[in-house]
Amino acid sequence: MNSHNFYDVTTWAPEHNLNAFEDIGAVINAIVADIKQHQNKVDENSGGKPGATIFIPAGDYHLRTQALIDLSYLKIKGEGHGFTSSSIRFNTTPEEIKSWHEVWPGGSRIINDLPGNQQDEALGAAILVKRSGNPRLSSIEFENFCIDGLHFVADASGRPDVENTYENGKTGIYIASANDSTRISAMGLVYLEHGITIYEADALTIDNNFVAECGNCIELRGSGQASKVSNNLIGAGYKGYSIYACNFGGLLIAANNVFPRGKSSLHLSNITRSNITSNRLHSFYPGMLILDQGSTENLVAANHFLREREPWAPMQDYDNGLSDDYGLIVIEGSHNSIIGNHISENIDPQYLKFPQGCTDLRPVALKVVSGHSNYIATNHIVGTKVAAPQSAPALASDCFNTQVASLLTAGNLQPLPMLNVQVAPAAQANIVLDCGSASELSIDCQHNKVRALA
């Protein structure tokens, strides 16, 4: 493509004594400076600053200098998201890896070689988007390339398997400034402590990405409105969030396939008038969906929740620390609608955990901790007992087979007693309809409206 606003990092960089394969961050910064030099008129013929495209062909690009984006209308795009499981690789013996066809992520792959900083996430970000003044940054797009954190590091636990800590102080994309109509699509992010972190987002689109094996996958912080997180494949580690959002209104979270191991699949704090619909959520721990800090007037509908035990031997020693009386879905807010969801718990009872002194040893599906006037109706809760295998597969290569086998275990299962809905005394004036029999509900019927199934 021939255009003075189109930059191919592999052809432009050598002309300016730079090497995109050795430090693509320095190349992106030089290109941004070049764009500013050529587009220096604020208003020229009713335009003047159309922005540009930075193209990253398929290849491995080390990033040793943080890329700083401080202009609007910039698109960075590649030729493939390049995701592959680093977790499987790092839990595989060297002898087995010798027969592998490929070992590392591919596509247009940026390798974050920054030292990482766990005290300041922005310092460890491969790409930092930040600008002061007005107007806010607009229409920045990231499309179809991979950002790889490469390795995790030792944590406070002292465990020798450091590649399973989900910590390295590295971030993929960090947007620190108010922004409008940012688009992140067809990206691959892997082995980063924070995949995507965005502050002050308006009309944000995060769609069709593969963000997995990160400490935290997608974090919407500060505040925001009218945005969507949709059609993504996502899976965080046991310490972090698959999707987190706070102080947000009008957020659409739809049609995502959220993998296990995240501390929570969705953690939404002070979220109002938002939709969480048609997602498939899979977890190995309680606390799958948390609506807290007074989250209000949200619709949670037509989602599929599945909780089971971790079936893959290398990760069975890890969990998020929550006991099974915590709840799979936890509500701390008012006027929320939890309607028509399918909630499954499929687990060997020996792996359920309850606090000392707990008298009701049934896992809780849906818990209302505080708030009022929540409408909880026609949710189908299914509890089943599944016997754990006598010996868990030891080879990392069995990860796929063990997880698929676990998902497909559905026939000839015995019922697992569940506490379908629990409403705490502090939560009143809630409506709970057709979510279980009277024995499966723990609700003060004098202060809440309840219709149990026969």
| Distance of alpha carbon 239 from alpha carbon 88, whole angstroms | 18
**Count of structural domains, the chain:** 2
The average pLDDT across 34-40 equals: 96
pLDDT at 228 over 60: yes
Domain identity same for 346 and 273: yes
At residue 187, what are phi and psi to the nearest 5 degrees?
-95, 160
Write down the pLDDT at residue 397: 54
Residue 116 lies in a domain: yes
Domain identity same for 363 and 424: yes
Q: DSSP for 219-256? A: EEEEEEEEEEEES-EEEE-TTSEEEEEEEEEEEEEES-
Residue 290 lies in a domain: yes
Let me know: does 347 contact 308? Beta carbons within 8 Å. Answer: yes
Tens of pLDDT, residues 76-93: 999 999 999 999 999 999
For 135, counting Cβ atoms within 10 Å of its Cβ (0-12 exposed, 13-18 middle, 19+ buried), the class is exposed
Domain identity same for 149 and 236: no
Contacts of 344 (CB under 8 A, 6+ apart): 304, 305, 306, 307, 381, 382, 383, 384
Domain identity same for 361 and 231: yes
Taking the C-alpha atoms of 61, 66, 71 and 76 in order, what is their torsion angle to the nearest 10 degrees?
20
| Distance of alpha carbon 363 from alpha carbon 388, whole angstroms | 18
Domain identity same for 158 and 236: no
Residue 112 lies in a domain: yes
Domain identity same for 161 and 243: no
Tokens, residue 359:
């008298």
Write down the pLDDT at residue 390: 52
Residue 136 lies in a domain: yes
Domain identity same for 219 and 120: no
The mean pLDDT of the chain is 94
The average pLDDT across 292-320 equals: 94
Domain identity same for 151 and 230: no
Domain end marker among 192, 225, 255: 192
Q: pTM of the full predicted structure?
A: 0.95
CA distances from 263 to 158, 300, 406, 448 (A): 20, 20, 20, 31
Domain identity same for 160 and 293: no
- Domain holding 53, by residue range, is 1-170+185-192
Write down the pLDDT at residue 389: 61
Tokens, residue 11:
């052809």
Domain end marker among 138, 159, 192: 192
Residue 205 lies in a domain: no
Domain identity same for 246 and 351: yes
Domain identity same for 279 and 426: yes
Report residue 118's pLDDT band, with 50, 70 and 90 as the boundaries. confident
Residue 197 lies in a domain: no
Write down the pLDDT at residue 311: 86
Bond before 135 cis per omega within 30 degrees = yes
Q: Which CATH number belongs to the domain containing residue 17 in this structure? A: 2.160.20.10
For 316, counting Cβ atoms within 10 Å of its Cβ (0-12 exposed, 13-18 middle, 19+ buried), the class is middle
Residue 208 lies in a domain: no
Tens of pLDDT, residues 156-179: 999 899 999 999 999 999 999 999
Write down the pLDDT at residue 403: 67
Write down the pLDDT at residue 359: 92
Amino acid identity, position 242: S
Tens of pLDDT, residues 257-279: 999 989 999 999 999 999 999 99
Domain identity same for 336 and 454: yes
Asked which of 11-25, 64-78, 408-422, 439-453 is least confident by mean pLDDT, the reply is 408-422
Residue 120 lies in a domain: yes
